[in-house]
Structure 1
Amino acid sequence: MQNSLKNKLFTLVGVSLILCLGVRAQDKPNFVFIIADDIGWNDIGCYGNSVVKTPNIDKLASEGLQFTNAFLTASSCSPSRCSIISGKYPHSNGAAELHTPLPGTEIPFPLLLKENGYYTAQAGKWHLGTNAHRAFDRFTDENGYNNGNGGEDNWVRFLKERPKDQPFFFWYASYDAHRAWGADDFHITHNPENVQVPVFFSDTPETRQDIASYYNEIARFDFFIGEVRKELERQKVIDNTIIIVMSDNGRPFPRCKTRVYDSGMKTPFIVYWPNGIKDLGVLAKGLVSAVDIAPTILELAQVEIPSDYQGISFVSTLKNPSNETRTVVYSEHNWHDYEAYERMVRTKDLLFVLNERPNLTNCGPADSKRSPTQYSLNKVRDEGKLTPAQADIFVSPRPRVELFDVKKDPLQLINVASLPSYSKHLKEMKKLLKNWQHNTRDSAPDNLTPDWYDRETGEALDIERQRGIMPGVYK
């Protein structure tokens, strides 16, 4: 009798505990993290582009929180993504150069979610190496899945096939809008006559078609975001799901991708969360860095943040968009097809650049060098008709130090580092960079990885490809 009573009590306590744990699991938010490939921050409708068709992203922004000063730590796909998933700057996590896998000693934040009861899955583009696969219960990278088209084919499928008794985290990565173009036959297209041509491009029919094809890729990316939202609504989990939309680097065009200016490092960044964001359609104007994403998601999931993560959680901004968690962001440009070492410091008012390879042109990645937009610029150069803005990618030697007043010069076209009126600002920015490099153990090796491609044509060099020493001190 006594044992029977004990068993009943244990059963009652066990059921109560399960119910309590179930409530906690349901209270924890779900996450759908969606990252584009090579989409510039201002090539989205809600960021001011009146031509590109992004109704689904625009709707998320109008019903969520749109960040206007979000910056990446690198304007290259794999270093940028490795930085996001590791919560560290590229030179600190051992994956500073393009196509360098994230070391197995690093802790991807989805692994911590997985270990704390979340179902985690990845679908689409990867480029982080195989060591980070362990962070996901299900992944498409090198795993027999078809990642065709823009890489979005498995997004809705994975949502449908997820276990329904766990909170979830999905890392959805698109190939849109990476070259070569593959969305010109998609059902959403753009007229070349209507596109917006940046001042550092040459306005030719070839350039306009190049941009229109790029817009088509963005439209396909946007379409599948809408499909994901529909599925979340169908499953009635949309209210407690946080959707984050961003890009891994700037548009794949000259003076954009790989560059540390806003055209390369600034990213669209939208957070949608019906249960958590109450001030709908508000602009969050404070600075945030891609390195802040990992600690933010972990805090929202009530998971302990590793002590060596280098970002700052911006949960307070989600609760109150006027809250600013940081006053400065840092970014870097390391090897991406070509030898490079640049460091960038950005405040709301100023952008500072240190270039330790000023003898080299800052020409952009190889695929951009082989683009119609680049060929149009080459033609104008050969005719001796380049404007100063267009000439930037050809300049060699370059300034070792650059300073831009981004309030007066939002496109970063005029270097004011030599002006006496900016000497105090220049000194302050140099100090910020020096402290950051010291605290994060940055370094500038003499024998960086050299060029693997021709700087004029973008074609592969006939050389034995060897890596140099990556920046940073990594063990």
Structure 2
Amino acid sequence: MNCKLIPQSLCTVAALTGVTPLMSQQKETPGQPNIVVFIADDAGMDYGCYGNKGISTPNIDRLASKGIRFEKAFLTSPQSSPSRTSMMTGKFAHTIGTQDLHTGIDADTKMMPYYFKQAGYTTACMLKTHWGPNGDKQFDRIIKGTYLPDQGPLSKEVFANYRQFLDDTKGEPFFLWVGFIDPHRPYNRKKCPQVNTPGKVTVPPYLVDGEDTRRDLADYYNEISRMDDNIGTMLKEMEKRHLLDNTIIVFLSDNGMPFPRAKGTLYDSGIQTPLIFVWDKKIQPGTKHTNGLVSTIDLAPTLLSLAGIEVPEDMYGRGFKDLLFDPSRRGSEYIFSERNWHDTDEYIRCVRSEKYKLIYNAYYELPHGTSMDLSTSLSWYELKKHQRQGSLQKSQTQIFECPRAMVEIYDLEKDPDELDNVADLAEYKAPGSVLARKMVEWQKATKDHPWWKNRRPDQNDRITGFPLFMNRPPLWVE
């Protein structure tokens, strides 16, 4: 790699991930395919195509059968707005100042639609965005029609405006970002089709396998199924217009499922994402990638390069275009993720390889922070009830530990659920030291702030989950 061609910080990130940035491949793909990104809100890995037999997701499963499914894809944050701004810009949230929840991008930060517009694309987004007004301005069109998670399925207005957008862009390449709010809380059973049952859900070991938790998981499954149905409707509309022949379809989520010890944490339950790419006659149907890791920091440069657009040099992400067409090729050696303010303040960083993960907790004297949507859920209350009774299993006490370890190391081959912190075992000192060095180098290369600089008060109590404030507290004043 010729480091004279790109910023030194990007060379450092390339060295950390173990893969050279995709700079020489930007002109390999002729033509301008349409690009449609479907992004779920708070959906984990619960789909039929990812092995969950208790959920109905026929349309997402069909996408996986027609394209490539990534088994080891990860997010740069387990929080909505930091995650979305990162994947849209190819930069880490702490680099562009969007690390705290509900923080939009500034007027100078460029997102994908800016570059697509420069290349002749019509750009649009619909439903949830969560990158602020400066981000919205970079799209040609905001497709009207919003919905909230407790208001039922998408309205006729939403689909009518979607169809109108397709009419208006006939014959011209377009980039469309579809931000679903499903399966974000709150849940409304009366307005969501009940297609999944509590008896067939998969209860992870860090939750109590009880009636309330199963009901909670079934509600979550049902919202994923509702999203799946809406995706099917939108795909059929494109199919009727013969658009799918030259349209790249992407499906992913912004963070893990909205349950305790998942969303908002840097365990895989919080940062692993489904990732599916479909491109008819270009990507081999029914393939999967398992060799190495993929990060959503790489989404923007990948989509730009697929459209034949030059990847900006200031993006930290690298393209993984080659993996789409040859799943045997190896992905990244390491991925990095961060957790900052989200109703409770945190400063957590992690680095993950295929075999090991290291998590750094700056506020180790405090229990894990939680968000108000999680701490008012049926699953949370069932955990707290069993905690009072002293009947929690060891795997269910992890988020209540106080003080917690400043450093957590997990052997992912032996402990895929990340329940046994082995940082105090001699045999893990060497691999842990490698990960620690990689993390510090990544923080320096991406201009991460020190843990003490951005502290905020908590919005809700970490122990009980009770909301202290209804509005976001200000930053500490030094």
Of 28, 35, 43, the match for 1:31: 35
Distance between the aligned counterparts of 2:384 and 2:32, measured in 1? 54
Matched, 1:456 2:460: no
Is 2:291 the counterpart of 1:297? no
Q: Does 1:113 align with 2:120?
A: no
| Matched residue type, 2:461 | D
The 2-side partners of 1:185 and 1:145 are apart by: 18
Change (3 A) 1:91 1:51: same
Which range moved further: 326-335 or 276-285? 276-285
Match of 2:387 among 370, 381, 387: 381
**Residues 151 and 175, structure 1, Cα contact 8 Å, conserved in 2:** no
CA distance in 1, matches of 2:335, 2:154: 31
Q: Which ranges in structure 1 are unaligned for 5 or more consecutive residues? A: 1-24, 471-475
CA distance in 1, matches of 2:154, 2:298: 25
Letter in 1 for 2:111: P
Question: 1:63 deviation in Å?
Answer: 1.3
Deviation of the 1:363 alpha carbon? 4.0
Question: Contact (CA 8 Å) 1:119, 1:137: kept in 2 or not?
Answer: yes
Verify the 8 A CA contact 1:188 1:219 in the aligned structure 2: no
What is the rounded CA distance, in whole Å, between the counterparts of 2:153 and 2:138 in structure 1?
Answer: 20
Q: Do 2:293 and 2:332's aligned partners in 1 also have CA atoms closer than 8 Å?
A: yes
User: Contact 1:62/1:282 (CA < 8 Å) preserved in 2?
Assistant: no
How many Å apart are 1:331 and its aligned residue? 0.2
TM-score with structure 1 length normalisation? 0.89
1:75 aligns with one of 60, 75, 78: 78
Partner of 1:288: 294
1:221 aligns with 2:227: yes
Equivalent position to 1:250, from 247, 250, 256: 256
Q: CA deviation at 1:446?
A: 1.7
Per-residue deviation, 1:167? 0.3
Q: CA deviation at 1:159?
A: 4.7
Query: Contact 1:98/1:336 (CA < 8 Å) preserved in 2?
Result: yes
Structure 2 residue aligned with 1:14: none
Find out whether 1:64 has 2:64 as its counterpart.
Answer: no
* Conserved? CA contact 1:151–1:173, under 8 Å: no
- What is the Cα deviation at residue 196 of structure 1? 1.1
**How do residues 395-406 of structure 1 correspond to structure 2 at under 5 angstroms?**
395-406=401-412
Alignment of 1:342 with 2:344, yes or no, is: no
Q: Distance in 2 between matches of 1:129 and 1:356?
A: 28
| 88 and 463 in structure 1: CA distance in 2 versus 1, 3 angstrom threshold | same
Q: CA deviation at 1:150?
A: 6.4
Q: Residues 242-266 of structure 1, C-alpha deviation per residue, up to 9 Å, x if partnerless?
A: 1100000011000000100100000
Report 1:315-330 matches (<5 A): 315-330=321-336
CA distance in 1, matches of 2:425, 2:337: 24
**Once the 2 structures are TM-superposed, how far is the Cα of residue 137 of structure 1 from its aligned partner?**
1.2
Q: Matched residue pairs, number?
A: 443
Residue of structure 1 in register with 2:52 after alignment? 49
Residues 340-389 of structure 1 show CA distances to partners (whole Å, capped at 9, x for unaligned) of 00001011111110110101111432110111111011010001111111
- The 3-state SS of whatever aligns with 2:273 is coil
- Across the aligned residues of Structure 1 and Structure 2, the Cα RMSD in angstroms comes to 2.1
- In the alignment, is the contact (CA less than 8 A) between 1:244 and 1:271 conserved in 2? yes
Partner AA of 1:145 in structure 2: G
> Structure 2-normalised TM-score?
0.89
Pairing 1:55-454 to 2, within 5 Å after superposition:
55-140=58-143, 145-148=145-148, 149=151, 152-153=154-155, 154=158, 156-182=162-188, 185-278=191-284, 280-447=286-453, 448-454=455-461
Q: Secondary structure at the match of 2:374?
A: helix
2:373 is paired with a residue whose SS is helix
Identity across matched positions, percent:
39
- Is the 2:70–2:290 Cα contact (8 Å) retained in structure 1? yes
Secondary structure of the residue aligned to 1:316 is helix
In the alignment, structure 2 segments of 5+ residues that lack a partner are 1-28
Give the secondary-structure state (helix, strand or coil) at the position aligned to 1:343.
strand
CA distance in 1, matches of 2:476, 2:332: 31
Shift of residue 279, structure 1, vs aligned partner = 5.0
CA distance in 1 between partners of 2:359 and 2:146 (Å) = 41
Residues 442-470 of structure 1 show CA distances to partners (whole Å, capped at 9, x for unaligned) of 12242511201122343331488543279
Taking the aligned partners of 2:30 and 2:47, their CA distance within structure 1 comes to 33
1:286 and 1:322 in contact (8 A); partners too: no
| Whole-angstrom distance in 1 between the partners of 2:442 and 2:183 | 32
Alpha-carbon distance between aligned partners in 2 of 1:419 and 1:386, rounded to the nearest angstrom: 25
